[in-house]
Amino acid sequence: MSDAPYKVWQCRTCGYIYEEEHGDPGEGLAAGTRWADIADDWVCPLCGTPKSDFDMIEL
């Protein structure tokens, strides 16, 4: 497990927020799942936007 701080990613299309620290268990992403560990073909669970169209944000 990495000691790097967890990051937050936001969908450019609908604003869905993915927080590495919390994951998204409903989508099969356990808490602590890093963005880099999510498959490249993953899409936003709300609108279907591809992973490549998410931006890292600071909250």
pLDDT tens-place string over residues 19-50: 999 999 999 999 999 999 999 999 999 999 99
- CA 13 vs CA 10, 29, 32, 45, 54: distances in Å: 9, 21, 24, 12, 8
Instruction: Please list the residues that pair with 17 across neighbouring strands.
Output: 10
8 in Cβ contact with 17 (< 8 Å): yes
Residue type, 46: L
Query: For the whole model, what pTM was predicted?
Result: 0.90
CA distance 22 to 46: 17
Band of residue 2 on the pLDDT scale cut at 50, 70, 90: low
pLDDT at position 1: 53
Encoding tokens for residue 19?
């927080």
Band of residue 59 on the pLDDT scale cut at 50, 70, 90: confident
pLDDT at position 58: 87
